[in-house]
Structure 1
Amino acid sequence: MIEETTQALTEFTRRYCDLWERECGHPPASSELTGVPSPCTQETVQDEIYWLPQPFTLAKNLDAVERALDLRIQPAVVAWYTAQFAGDMTATLAGQTFTLLQTWSEEDFLRVQENLIGHLVMKRRLKHSPTLFIATTSSELEIVSVCNLSGEVFIEQLGTSQRTPLAPSLEQFIASLTPSRGL
């Protein structure tokens, strides 16, 4: 599961970077990440940084999340957050646009784990099954999550148990995405 998800994410990232190179003549660019240290930063041009994915240099686990909640995390989600350092990427599926959340640096990896813990604590308090977010949508009330029990990927309405299925697995979700430069 880890290897398949890592390969799918690596392939998607390659297609995403190729799209930027083809359409803009440079690697993916971000104004939000300007000045935020990362091994991904290639060049700063005016108010944007150009970035490329880099190898993940930490232990490939989410042990802090697992220990905090006494919960074993879906291996595919572990792969999602530990396959690489990269900027967030935009993708479409069935006419909907998503921002795929990635780990930008070693420091960012700590923040991601803290946010996952907070999300799982909220799910526990609401007595909902555990989910792990992997992407955002255009709505502040919806996120793309992976069910920690089944591995299914869906759009989740925050604060509710309402879910819209997207794919039976994270690997299949990634494979069905079309890279986009976003808005």
Structure 2
Amino acid sequence: MQDQVVMALADLFERYRRLGGIPLVAYDADFPSPAELLPAQGGRVGWQPWRRPEPGDFNNIAAALKMPLHADISAFFGHYYAGNVPGCFKGLFLTLLQPWNQQDFERLQQNQIGHQLMLQKLKLPASWFLASCRDEQRLVTLDNSSGEVLLERLGQGRIGVLAPNLAHFLRRLEPCG
């Protein structure tokens, strides 16, 4: 399933590029990424997904939390450095998160740990955030047990199932500008 997630993510990046050309993000000279297309102009820089030669993983998170992690979480966050991708899934507008560089990948892992500790404290099932929604109280997450993609209300848990798995979700997500 991990290969399907990586292929679906690559396809999503290509659909996003075809939609509007090279996506732009705010340029930060102190926070470079191999995904950047230089030179930066007007405070913005173009980006393209950059495939990591050695994928990152979440094994350190699994060890720290003393729990198995669904393999799709490493497949999704560990293979590329890229900008975030705005999208729409069945009328739900969201921003799919991606690490920009190694420092951002490590910060993402720390935020995932914080999310997991909050869920444990609230006695909610384990899930990993994938995207933010326009309504900041909702998140798109990956259910750690089943691998389903969920819509959750922050601090309250599952609202509903969006897709049976992450590859399916990524294939159906429509990038938007």
Q: TM-score with structure 2 length normalisation?
A: 0.94
Task: Return the alpha-carbon distance in structure 1 between the equivalents of residues 140 and 59 of structure 2.
Answer: 22
Counterpart code for 2:76: W
- Does the 8 A contact of 1:58 with 1:106 survive in 2? no
- Return the offset for 1:34: 3.4
Tell me the residue number matched to 2:46. Answer: 50
Counterpart code for 2:124: H
Tell me the residue number matched to 1:24. Answer: none
Task: Return the alpha-carbon distance in structure 2 between the equivalents of residues 158 and 59 of structure 1.
Answer: 29
Tell me the residue number matched to 1:41. Answer: 36
Tell me the residue number matched to 1:122. Answer: 118
- Does the 8 A contact of 2:2 with 2:72 survive in 1? yes
- Return the offset for 1:162: 3.5
- Does the 8 A contact of 1:152 with 1:168 survive in 2? yes
Tell me the residue number matched to 1:159. Answer: 155
- Deviates most, 156-165 or 4-13: 156-165
SS of corresponding position for 1:99? strand
1:78 aligns with 2:83: no
Task: Return the alpha-carbon distance in structure 2 between the equivalents of residues 159 and 77 of structure 1.
Answer: 20
- Count of aligned pairs: 175
Task: Return the alpha-carbon distance in structure 2 between the equivalents of residues 178 and 81 of structure 1.
Answer: 19
Work out the percentage of aligned pairs sharing the same amino acid: 30
Indicate how the Cα distance of structure 1 residues 59 and 177 shifts in structure 2: closer, same or farther if over 3 A, else same. Answer: closer
Counterpart code for 2:25: S
- Does the 8 A contact of 1:3 with 1:79 survive in 2? yes
CA deviation vs aligned residue, 1:8-50 (integer Å, no higher than 9, x gap): 00100111112121xxxxx11012x533211111131102111
- Return the offset for 1:58: 4.3
Unmatched tracts of structure 2, length 5 or more: none
Q: 1:110 aligns with which of 106, 110, 114?
A: 106
Q: TM-score with structure 1 length normalisation?
A: 0.91
Q: RMSD between aligned alpha carbons?
A: 1.2
Task: Return the alpha-carbon distance in structure 1 between the equivalents of residues 59 and 72 of structure 2.
Answer: 14
SS of corresponding position for 2:157? coil
Tell me the residue number matched to 1:100. Answer: 96
Counterpart code for 1:152: E
4+ residue runs over 6 A deviation: none
Task: Return the alpha-carbon distance in structure 1 between the equivalents of residues 84 and 128 of structure 2.
Answer: 16
